[in-house]
Structure 1
């Protein structure tokens, strides 16, 4: 019998293969090619066809995909025909920016959402709870491409607290780096705050009605101790699942925010590569995002056995 972990790994590999194959297939349907971008608008059809043949872009997409997959398995993601840069090098240069934004956004969302959920669940239906739910609804309805310009207008242009755009690397100082990262991370985090808060609030309210919580209260334990020691942990399983799903999505969802704030991350690289029909670069970036997504979700699934002994016992682990 195949162990659960092995089955999970097999499904994850299949997901990555299907995602990258779908990307190649979709880009092959788009008009134009990397050769036409390289040669410019005034290039003749003959010159474009000649360069396509030289780069191997005139072959069927499945043939191109098979060659790319053979190299990717050996750790070679190819070289961009547009920039001439190895894909792995381009990803390594841009990945720290995207990872920092995603992790910062996730931390902001978790801290704010947990605090709001605890306050809401402590007095469900109160004026404070209704006000928090109203704010949460606003956050949920404001996508990043709207939140970004609003944050730039108020906090960068009006108040001057943060730079309008651009990026400072950590080597240039932690302060400038964080100042350049806070607004884009916050733009990404707003929607996550709302979804995390709503989910955790609902689970906390249900847990606080359980008998074991009533016993803890009867022993004279403080409300804060009961909330954080007894109620928060068993209420966090759905939140952990959502965090795992959203972390993978956040890494791929920084495209708009990085473009708005002119940040040199994977999102901006992906957007420019799609426009220039750089299939090799797009394949590499999408493959990385898919791997991160499935690895994080697999880790979340496995973490349940560590958090709750009942799940470990039911699985026979």
Structure 2
């Protein structure tokens, strides 16, 4: 188990290095001049442009810029924002905590809605509940998050005359205002992920009920609730745990749409602003953070999987 874990960590590190290298090259391949946009009307001043290029290291070859940036990252320094003049670490961390809250609440909502629906549908394949859940998953998985968010905004205003706050409130300032700020983003993302959870749970449940050990338990006359609790739920827990990690990564990767729509200052909106403003340090730091978090979530899921399942732990 330890050897497998070390291999996974090594593979994650290699993936992180390759991903950051590709991202670094792609960012600089985008047409346009970041320094010129920073200077605005003073863009024609050669001395000012040269000073800024030297300050941010943009006067060096790309490979030299990357090595310098990678060395700073290893020392815990993500650089300074070209637009805000603030440390990138603080900007990215503040935004990530907002996105993480939305992601975790969305994951909880999706599991609370999707798992029971999937269990109910999988218990009687082809039944009425199965058709209802199938319709729900089809609708949720085919609805773009942006469209769902817009519908929720219109419905909230038309039905109850309510609109989300224009300014995001951190939970440490006011939990009630914070929950009001993230309500519609969580519902928009949760609608999609609940459908995915329901579909996955339904497939796993239906497959388990066809297994020989479940049929044998039925033939022995065990009550359905015992079979479902002892055999189905216990065996479906591990796949659901693995799927939870995948869902969380998908949520964290897809929040840019809802954060932009609902003016949430999360990681997705920070990335979009950095792209529009050609803020290389923030863009690099945010993408690095996203890659590391995705790899870390997958690593933790694998570790939890090994701890729960003795077969994996023994291997």
Q: TM-score, normalised by structure 2?
A: 0.91
Structure 2 residue 27 is matched with structure 1 residue 27: yes
In the other structure, the counterpart of 1:151 is 152
In the other structure, the counterpart of 1:37 is 37
Distance 2:151 2:186 in 1: 14
In the other structure, the counterpart of 2:13 is 13
Q: How does 1:83-162 map to 2 (within 5 A)?
A: 83-161=84-162
- Cα distance change on mapping 1:233 and 1:143 into 2, 3 Å: farther
Q: How does 1:1-317 map to 2 (within 5 A)?
A: 3-40=3-40, 43-44=43-44, 46=46, 49-50=49-50, 51-161=52-162, 163=164, 165-217=166-218, 221-313=222-314, 315=315
Distance 2:165 2:131 in 1: 34
Report how far residue 202 of structure 1 moved.
Answer: 1.0
- Cα distance change on mapping 1:54 and 1:216 into 2, 3 Å: same
- The answer to whether the 8 Å contact 2:133/2:198 transfers is no
- The answer to whether the 8 Å contact 2:275/2:283 transfers is yes
2:172 partner SS: helix
Distance 2:250 2:122 in 1: 28
Gaps of 5+ in 2: none
Distance 2:129 2:5 in 1: 44
Distance 1:54 1:77 in 2: 14
2:235 partner SS: coil
- The answer to whether the 8 Å contact 2:204/2:236 transfers is yes
Gaps of 5+ in 1: none
Report how far residue 192 of structure 1 moved.
Answer: 1.6
Equivalenced residues, count? 313
- The answer to whether the 8 Å contact 1:79/1:86 transfers is yes
Distance 1:198 1:300 in 2: 20
- The answer to whether the 8 Å contact 2:140/2:191 transfers is yes
- The answer to whether the 8 Å contact 2:43/2:49 transfers is no
Q: Once the two structures are superposed, what CA deviation does each residue of 1:199-219 show, in whole Å capped at 9, x if it has no partner? A: 211111111222333454456
Report how far residue 145 of structure 1 moved.
Answer: 1.5
Report how far residue 293 of structure 1 moved.
Answer: 0.7
Report how far residue 164 of structure 1 moved.
Answer: 5.5
- The answer to whether the 8 Å contact 1:20/1:287 transfers is yes
- The answer to whether the 8 Å contact 1:97/1:264 transfers is yes
Distance 2:37 2:293 in 1: 30
CA RMSD of aligned residues (A): 2.1
- Cα distance change on mapping 1:226 and 1:258 into 2, 3 Å: same
Report how far residue 191 of structure 1 moved.
Answer: 2.1
- Cα distance change on mapping 1:137 and 1:47 into 2, 3 Å: farther
Q: TM-score, normalised by structure 1?
A: 0.91
